[in-house]
């Protein structure tokens, strides 16, 4: 068996085209979506991500604001910046980029976010709503994982709900921003879910667990952690990992995932590549959440019934709200 390679770039391009239309509609209704990022210090990955989302925001015609803070910024000053963006009506969505400098606690900044602009659902209220299965925003990376899966399963002609309800979904890694919310989304779809982590006492049984997965989602940040021999024939495998490694053939750094792509491809039904799988969708999803926040703000500002109507609509086609 050679796995079908799920093309995240093509899915992302489709989403982007939808968003272009949505922005046009919102502008016609008198709203102008705006994204703000807060970045502290000089982390290379944080700056690279900031550049990507800025470019995308500009391409989609969103307002864009970047608050750049020095690495030695006080926590109180960083909190004040987040609060100021919350009060700014030109800003619909706020992204706090990680890592933060050690003297600034993530929790303090997340609590300072306006929950209606918290597009990564890191404020305790939004994280709680997600855990209850009533998300206001679905964080971009786990949302992308399930966007890929939902669309792949639909396109392969299956009854998507039936597939999830009859699947063992195994997740490797349980960070607050990726693994844990992905667990919620898998449970919400009716799957039998197993969460594996290196910090569990059963970590030594990782490959026993992964070999029982119908759908395997790996978000550990460990290059080539899972090989073909660790998965079942016919698995659908989603690779969230992005790991820079030195390529001995070229002497250059390249990005690889947590799956050993060649050997897992030999056994799987479908696989996401790195790069070109989850990553491109994640970037677009952040903008999608920003546009959603702008629409919610428009509802609050113009007509209460519009907001109430929205609460009855499915959130991002992922879960039900209200």
Between CA 55 and CA 176 the distance in angstroms is 27
Q: How far is the CB of 36 from ligand NAD (least distance, A)?
A: 20
Q: Residue 225: which residues within 8 A CB-CB, separation 6 or more?
A: 172, 218, 241, 258, 259
Q: How far is the CB of 263 from ligand NAD (least distance, A)?
A: 17
Residue number with CB closer to ligand NAD (183 or 297): 183
Residue ranges in 240-269 that form contacts with ligand NAD under rule CB under 6 A: 240-243
DSSP letter at 73 equals -
CA-wise closest residue to 36 among 3, 66, 8: 66
Select from 37, 92, 167, 177 the one that contacts ligand NAD (CB under 6 A): 177
Residue 87: both structure tokens together:
């009060």
Residue with structure tokens 């890929």? Answer: 148
Residue number with CB closer to ligand NAD (244 or 317): 244
- 8 A C-beta contact, residue 312 and residue 124: no
Select from 33, 41, 179, 273 the one that contacts ligand NAD (CB under 6 A): 179
210 binds ligand NAD (CB under 6 A): no
Q: Is 63 helix (H, G, I), strand (E, B) or coil?
A: strand
Report which residue's Cβ sits closest to ligand NAD.
173
56 binds ligand NAD (CB under 6 A): no
Between CA 186 and CA 276 the distance in angstroms is 22
273 binds ligand NAD (CB under 6 A): no
205 binds ligand NAD (CB under 6 A): no
Q: Residue 18: which residues within 8 A CB-CB, separation 6 or more?
A: none
Select from 92, 126, 141, 167 the one that contacts ligand NAD (CB under 6 A): 141
- 8 A C-beta contact, residue 25 and residue 290: no
Stretch that binds ligand NAD, among 11-19, 54-62, 237-245, 300-308 (CB under 6 A): 237-245
The residue ranges that bind ligand NAD (CB under 6 A) are 141, 172-175, 177-179, 196-199, 206, 219-222, 225, 240-243, 278-279, 282
């Amino acid at each position: 068996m050679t796995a079908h390679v799920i093309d995240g770039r093509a899915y992302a391009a489709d989403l982007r085209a939808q968003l272009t239309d949505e922005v046009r509609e919102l502008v016609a209704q008198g709203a102008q979506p705006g994204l703000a990022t807060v970045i502290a210090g000089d982390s290379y990955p944080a700056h690279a991500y900031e550049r990507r989302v800025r470019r995308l925001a500009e391409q989609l015609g969103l307002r864009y604001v970047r608050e750049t803070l020095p690495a030695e910024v006080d926590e109180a000053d960083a909190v004040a910046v987040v609060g100021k963006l919350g009060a700014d009506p030109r800003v619909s969505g706020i992204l706090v980029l990680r890592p933060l400098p050690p003297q600034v606690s993530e929790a303090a900044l997340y609590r300072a976010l306006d929950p209606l602009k918290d597009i990564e659902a890191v404020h305790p209220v939004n994280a709680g709503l997600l855990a209850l299965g009533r998300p206001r925003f679905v964080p971009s990376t786990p949302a992308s994982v399930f966007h890929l899966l939902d669309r792949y399963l639909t396109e392969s002609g299956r009854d998507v709900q039936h597939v999830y309800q009859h699947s063992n979904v195994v997740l490797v890694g349980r960070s607050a921003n990726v693994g844990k919310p992905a667990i919620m989304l898998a449970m919400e779809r009716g799957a039998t879910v197993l969460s594996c982590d290196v910090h569990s006492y059963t970590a030594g049984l990782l490959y026993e667990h992964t070999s029982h997965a119908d759908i395997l989602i790996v978000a550990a940040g460990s290059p080539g952690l899972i090989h073909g021999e660790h998965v079942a024939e016919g698995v659908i495998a989603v690779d969230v990992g992005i790991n820079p490694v030195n390529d001995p053939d070229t002497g250059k750094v390249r990005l690889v995932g947590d799956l050993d792509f060649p050997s897992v491809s030999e056994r799987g039904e479908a696989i996401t590549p790195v790069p070109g799988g989850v990553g491109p969708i994640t970037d677009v999803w952040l903008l999608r959440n920003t546009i959603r926040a702008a629409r919610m703000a428009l509802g609050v500002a113009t007509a209460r019934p519009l907001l109430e109507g929205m609460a009855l609509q499915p959130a991002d086609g992922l879960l039900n709200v209200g």
